[in-house]
Amino acid sequence: MIMKKIVLPLLLFVSFCFAQVTIELSHKQVKHGTSFAVVFQSDAPMSQAPNAIFLDKTYQMFTIGGDITQYVVFLPVDYHTPLKKYDVVVTYLKNTEIEQQKDFIEVVDGQYKQNEIIKVPRGKVTLSTKNKQRAKKEYSKVYSKVYSQVYPHDLTQSSFFQNPMESKITSAFGNARVYNGVAKSYHTGTDFRAAIGDDIFASNYGKVALVMDRFYLGRVIYIDHGRGAYSYYSHLSESLVKEGDIVNKGQLIAKSGDTGRVTGPHLHYAMRLYNTTVDPLQYHKLYNTIVKKYN
């Protein structure tokens, strides 16, 4: 009882003097191939946005709902990140000095399914020189028009992400895949069961960054949600939107199909965060949790 009486005022005193800024991570441990959030809160308005540094990259943080005392950034953990602890540093301006706070996050095994067997036409696994060049060219177009562009505003307007269709998930993100008996990387999105011509909806508000036909993904739509987040919808039979269109959450944007490298018609739904592939449904959940908690 006496201890409590001393400790509480002491804590209040210490927090009053020193703890004007706090940083909080959404996770202590994060699975490889997923994402996590860093939240910064200050008891006074900030003159400029703080930065978060993770794995040698610096990311600008963004206000939550325009409030200049709290900022957030969603950070990707690449699928191939070695499993260990990493520093997460937040730098910010206090008066005219740059200060920093540090925390850490542990990247742990996502325990994805191993050896998912996929059978596709031979020419879609062992590429001819022509197709290799085509795939390479497509990637550089997507990179320059989509992944290297970070639109600073939150285009989602803080509304929750939803699935692009109501349908059974037939293959989860992260499964290690074997194509025609040869181990080839991992599953970069979530597959939804679909026939040819089923309706596909935008998972959130955003801007159509690109619509194109790709070797692996077939017809694909990229939607920019701002702040480095892009969702994309592939193997489509038809796109109902074009580059530059603003789409609302739940808006009908496409019809499912079997274009590109597929075993049959389905929707491959994926998410890129700062040019890194992340588990799209885990990102939805993370984003929705943060928006609910801090908005």
Assess 177 for contact with Zn ion (CB under 5 A): no
Nearest to Zn ion by Cβ — which residue? 268
Assess 227 for contact with Zn ion (CB under 5 A): no
Contact 267, 192 (CB under 8 A): yes
Q: What is the 3-state secondary structure (H, E, C) of the chain?
A: CHHHHHHHHHHHHHHHHHCCEEEEECCCEEECCCEEEEEEEECCCCCCCCEEEECCEEEECEEECCEEEEEEEEEECCCCCCCCEEEEEEEEEECCEEEEEEEEEEEECCCCCCCEEECCCHHHCCCCHHHHHHHHHHHHHHHHHHHCCCCCCCCCCCCCCCCCCCCCEEECCCCEEEECCEEEEECCCEEEECCCCCEEECCCCEEEEEEEEECCCEEEEEEEEECCEEEEEEEECEECCCCCCEECCCCEEEECECCCCCCCCEEEEEEEECCEEECHHHHHHHHHHHHHHHC
Stretch that binds Zn ion, among 120-128, 185-193, 242-250, 253-261 (CB under 5 A): 185-193
Minimum gap (Å) between residue 187 Cβ and Zn ion:
6
Minimum gap (Å) between residue 268 Cβ and Zn ion:
3
For 249, the token pair is 């959450």
Minimum gap (Å) between residue 131 Cβ and Zn ion:
19
Complex with Zn ion: residue 191 or 279, whichever CB lies closer: 191
Complex with Zn ion: residue 121 or 244, whichever CB lies closer: 121
Identify residues 26-65 at the interface with Zn ion (CB under 5 A). Answer: none
Count of positions on this chain that bind Zn ion (CB under 5 A) = 3
Assess 191 for contact with Zn ion (CB under 5 A): yes
Complex with Zn ion: residue 227 or 268, whichever CB lies closer: 268
Minimum gap (Å) between residue 235 Cβ and Zn ion:
8
Complex with Zn ion: residue 189 or 265, whichever CB lies closer: 189
Identify residues 247-276 at the interface with Zn ion (CB under 5 A). Answer: 268
Complex with Zn ion: residue 189 or 228, whichever CB lies closer: 189
Stretch that binds Zn ion, among 21-29, 140-148, 183-191, 257-265 (CB under 5 A): 183-191
Complex with Zn ion: residue 268 or 272, whichever CB lies closer: 268
- Whole-number Å distance between alpha carbons of 212 and 254: 13
Complex with Zn ion: residue 118 or 273, whichever CB lies closer: 118
Q: Which residues bind Zn ion (CB under 5 A)?
A: 189, 191, 268
